[in-house]
Amino acid sequence: MKKEKDIRHQDSICTNESHLQHQWYHHLKYLIVGILFGIVFVKAEVISWFRIQEMFRLQSFHMYGVIGSAVVTGMISVFIIKKFNIKTIYGEKISIAPKKFNNGQIYGGLIFGFGWAITGACPGPLFAQIGIGALVITVTLISAIFGTWVYGYFREKLPH
């Protein structure tokens, strides 16, 4: 049984997992970037429940423009990383593993989309929404954490 558990653990290891050890204050840069990212989300109205509802009702291009520009930026970034063999700021190699398509991605995307449409929140902006005082979103946050736990519990039985 232990060997089977080790094999499952090896499959879930991130290909870019860093083995460097840092002092606790090295993580402050992520806190600062997260706060700045949250401010940008608020100012760009990306966390607005009304903007999200407009998107799902096909009444506004605003959110599609934001999401589309993020996709294009991501595509260009991955292309540059692969083309020039970019490394992390600590000199570690970045590898992007190929991913196979499967039906679980469709089911997961539908569940994610329904949840997003119903709650007006997706995982990234949840914290920014709570930060601006929309405390009812903590119910969504707790539900997201619980859903992640349920997925982890049933992961081996789900289509991948």
Q: Which range is least confidently modeled, 63-67, 86-90, 111-115?
A: 86-90
Mean per-residue pLDDT, 44-65: 92
Q: Using alpha carbons, list the distances in angstroms from residue 106 to 53, 79, 92.
A: 22, 25, 33
User: Of the candidates 33, 68, 62, which has an alpha carbon nearest to the alpha carbon of residue 47?
Assistant: 62
Model confidence, pTM? 0.70
Dump pLDDT digits (tens) for 11-47.
Answer: 455 667 777 788 888 889 999 998 999 899 999 999 8
Return the pLDDT at 6. 43
Three-state secondary structure call for residue 95: coil
CA dist 4 and 16 (Å) reads: 23
| Domain map (residue ranges) of the chain | 2-157
Give the per-residue pLDDT at 13. 55
Q: pLDDT tens across 102-145, in order?
A: 888 898 899 888 988 888 888 878 888 998 888 899 999 999 89
Q: Which residue reads 């995307």 in tokens? A: 109
Greater confidence (89 vs 79) lies with: 79
- Burial grade of 85 (CB within 10 A; 0-12, 13-18, 19 or more): exposed
